[in-house]
């Protein structure tokens, strides 16, 4: 007997289940699918076209831009660790005007929604950048990098709930674009910060940026990174990122983008089930730049295995610890 998508009633063939819908929503931002790429790990997109069908991605988030060009931190800027990567790039970028002139034209035509990541040293700088980008064709949303650990005070805006609320609210006033607030795991209560972002009007929160760490060369009695501290990413931080997604999903009514150590389809599914509406693929792109495209290709079969007809059916379907599992055996 052949499996086909034709009607079983006519030929006696078995209908293949319709492909699950991949569309997801992050507040006002609609994505064709939940597979995004993380800021700072995918360049400006153009470099990746040999490896990834960039135009099919759920969204591209290019390297964070600032109002003025930044040179970034002293080398070394990256060190491999067990199960991860420690980086201290320091938001090296050419500034917003160079981005608009040199990077956005290609991005705007790439086919995927473009979420522009912005950072500033103060709420006013974020607001100024948001105002500059408002109405610029080709931008689908803004992601506020209020959580970069590699610039002085970079993480402060994501450590204090009131400052977080203020910067998000200011940006919301300054632009009609959907706003994602990218938060730091280096806080006592991720829930308090996510709630503040939601109160400020964030369409979604991106969880998480890198975890603060250092790597030491004891023989030289020196830290390996030129800046001393850096941000840890990669598989080592996946449980931390998942925990943040879990805590926020349980407590705050705001869509979540999960990011941290995602490299396989199981990782993607874990984040969706835990409460993320979309995911970002980051550090793994440095070792295998084709991963994001592969995850996108594999997603429909995982959704079929989960027995859902839409990616949205999976979001936050995790059985709370201690409760009887309703989904112990997925329908086949």
Ligand X SMILES: Cc1cc2nc3c(=O)[nH]c(=O)nc-3n(C[C@H](O)[C@H](O)[C@H](O)COP(=O)(O)O)c2cc1C
Site of interaction with ligand X (CB under 6 A) = 38-41, 63-64, 78, 85, 87, 89, 91, 117, 145, 148, 182, 209-210, 233-234, 237, 259-262, 282-283
DSSP letter for 101, please. Answer: I
Sort strands 278-281 and 256-259 into parallel, antiparallel or unpaired.
Answer: parallel
* Start-end of H helices in 49-147: 96-98, 104-108, 123-133
Shortest distance in whole angstroms from residue 185 CB to ligand X: 9
* Start-end of H helices in the chain: 8-11, 96-98, 104-108, 123-133, 161-174, 190-199, 238-251, 265-274, 284-287, 291-306
Nearer to ligand X, 20 or 186 (CB): 186
**Whose CB is nearest to ligand X?**
40
Of 110, 148, 211, 244, which residue is the catalytic one?
148
Nearer to ligand X, 20 or 203 (CB): 203
Whether 244 is catalytic is no
Nearer to ligand X, 15 or 80 (CB): 80
Shortest distance in whole angstroms from residue 143 CB to ligand X: 7
The 3-class SS string of 129-148 reads HHHHHCCCCCCCEEEEECCC
Shortest distance in whole angstroms from residue 89 CB to ligand X: 5
Shortest distance in whole angstroms from residue 102 CB to ligand X: 17
All residues at 6 or more sequence positions from 114 whose CB lies less than 8 Å from its CB, including other chains: 59, 60, 62, 104, 107, 108, 138, 139, 140
Nearer to ligand X, 20 or 236 (CB): 236
Give catalytic residues, as residue numbers: 148
């Amino acid at each position: 007997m052949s499996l086909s998508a034709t009607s079983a009633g006519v030929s006696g063939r078995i209908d293949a289940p319709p492909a699950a819908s991949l569309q997801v929503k992050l507040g006002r931002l609609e994505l064709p699918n939940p597979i995004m790429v993380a800021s700072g790990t995918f360049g400006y997109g153009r470099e990746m076209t040999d490896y990834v069908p960039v135009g099919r991605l759920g969204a591209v988030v290019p390297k964070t831009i600032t109002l003025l060009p930044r040179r970034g931190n002293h080398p070394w800027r990256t060190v491999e660790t067990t199960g991860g990567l420690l980086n201290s790039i320091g938001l090296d970028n050419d500034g917003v005007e160079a981005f608009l002139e040199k990077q956005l034209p290609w991005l705007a035509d790439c086919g995927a929604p473009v979420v522009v990541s912005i950072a500033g040293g103060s709420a006013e700088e974020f607001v100024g950048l948001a105002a500059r980008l408002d109405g610029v064709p080709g931008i689908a949303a803004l992601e506020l990098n209020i959580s970069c650990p590699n610039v002085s005070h970079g993480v402060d805006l994501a450590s204090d709930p009131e400052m977080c609320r203020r910067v998000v609210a200011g940006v919301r006033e300054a632009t009609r674009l959907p706003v994602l607030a990218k938060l730091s795991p280096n806080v006592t209560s991720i829930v308090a910060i996510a709630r503040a972002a939601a109160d400020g009007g964030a369409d979604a929160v991106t969880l998480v940026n890198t975890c603060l760490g250092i790597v030491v060369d004891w023989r030289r009695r020196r830290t390996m990174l030129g800046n001393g501290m850096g941000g840890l990413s990669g598989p080592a931080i996946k449980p931390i990122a998942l925990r943040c997604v879990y805590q926020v999903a349980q407590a705050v009514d705001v869509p979540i983008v999960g990011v941290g150590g995602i490299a396989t389809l199981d990782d993607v599914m874990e984040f969706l089930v835990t409460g993320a509406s979309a995911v970002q693929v980051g550090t793994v792109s440095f070792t295998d730049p084709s991963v994001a495209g592969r995850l996108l290709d594999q997603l429909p079969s995982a959704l079929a295995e989960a027995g859902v007809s839409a990616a949205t059916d999976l979001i936050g379907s995790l059985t709370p610890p201690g409760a009887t599992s309703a989904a112990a055996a997925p329908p086949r």
